[in-house]
Amino acid sequence: MSDPVTRTILLLDIERYSDRDDVEQAYLRRMLYDVTDRTLQRAGIDETLRLRADRGDSVMELIDANQPVTALLRALLSEVPAQLRAVNRMASRSAQIRLRAVVATGWVAVDEHDGWVGSDLNHACRLLDADVLRAALRERPDDFALCVSDPLYAGVVRHDHEGIPADGFHEVTVDGKNGPLTAWLHGPLPGAAAGQDHRGTGEASGGSGDRPAPRVPEQGGHRQDRPAPDGTRGAPAPGPAVSFSGGSVSFGGAFVAGNQYGGVSGGQVTGDVHPGARERGERA
């Protein structure tokens, strides 16, 4: 195994990858590589200054620690959303690509099988799988959600460099296997962060753990999966989904437990029934 060296760690993951067929997955992988390469080029990071590991629905980059992290963050915040908009505006629904990203720093070594070893890398992977990051992407109208590690926030982001607004990042806590991890999510917290616990478990939820199944037709003047004008939420999108991610299994969608009687409580109707009455007090 090589000696550990300090690296900037970049992880990018495709939402709902496992829900696609082989042809669609091959296309999404090409798009992922294109977006990653263009972003790193925009940040001025040459191919000779980084190592790449392919993880199927995700890509992992180890970047020379001497390369400015500020340039990478600016490129991620500006270049990636622009590229995704350009790709998705003309793509069919099955070819839409949406990404979660994590940037971290730490010590990483390479073993004799070209595998990457290091607790900092493990922590970054936990952040990529965190429920809070998945929920953030699921609830946003755009196609990108970014999270940075706490050491990176403390060393770079909090200093409010040009193009990297510190107040645009919000602190979150993720439950790692070895204890809670602090991280910083760019953009609004999911669920408006109104007293809700968004600590991730590292397990996926809902398909590949991200955006729900395709929307059902509009009813009652609002989408089923969007809040109604009065603030209530419509019925969830139908259809369970199954995902295997990082060794965990999750089931999305809803289930019905117990006996159901067509919506009539207790399966009985009591009292007078007046078919055809349109207003209260009108006789049948």
Beta bridge partners, 80, equal: none
**DSSP codes joined into one string, 243-259:** EEETTEEEEES----S-
Indicate the SS3 state at residue 281: coil
The pLDDT assigned to 179 comes to 83
Assign domain 5-211+239-267 one CATH number from 3.40.50.620, 3.30.70.1230, 1.10.760.10, 3.40.50.300: 3.30.70.1230
CA–CA separation, 160 and 53 (whole Å) = 31
**pLDDT (average), residues 31-46:** 95
**pLDDT (average), residues 251-280:** 42
- 156, two tokens: 């770079």
To the nearest 10°, report the CA torsion of 255, 256, 257, 258: -170
Give percent of the chain above pLDDT 70.
67
Hey, what long-range contacts does 26-33 have (CB within 8 A, 24 or more apart)?
27/95, 28/57, 28/95, 28/97, 29/56, 29/57, 31/87, 31/97, 32/58, 32/59, 32/97, 32/99, 33/59
- Over the chain, what is the mean pLDDT? 76
**DSSP codes joined into one string, 123-146:** HHHHHHT-HHHHHHHHH-SSSEEE
Report for 9-18, 170-179, 191-200, 201-210: range of highest mean pLDDT: 9-18
Alpha-carbon radius of gyration of the chain: 23
CA–CA separation, 181 and 13 (whole Å) = 20
To the nearest 10°, report the CA torsion of 69, 41, 107, 198: 70
**pLDDT (average), residues 235-264:** 41
The pLDDT assigned to 115 comes to 82
pLDDT band at 250 (very low <50, low <70, confident <90, very high): very low
Ramachandran angles phi, psi of 181, nearest 5°: -120, 135
Instruction: Flag the least confident range among 171-180, 184-193, 248-257.
Output: 248-257
Q: pTM for the full model?
A: 0.68
**DSSP codes joined into one string, 33-61:** HHHHHHHHHHTT--GGGEEEEE-SSEEEE
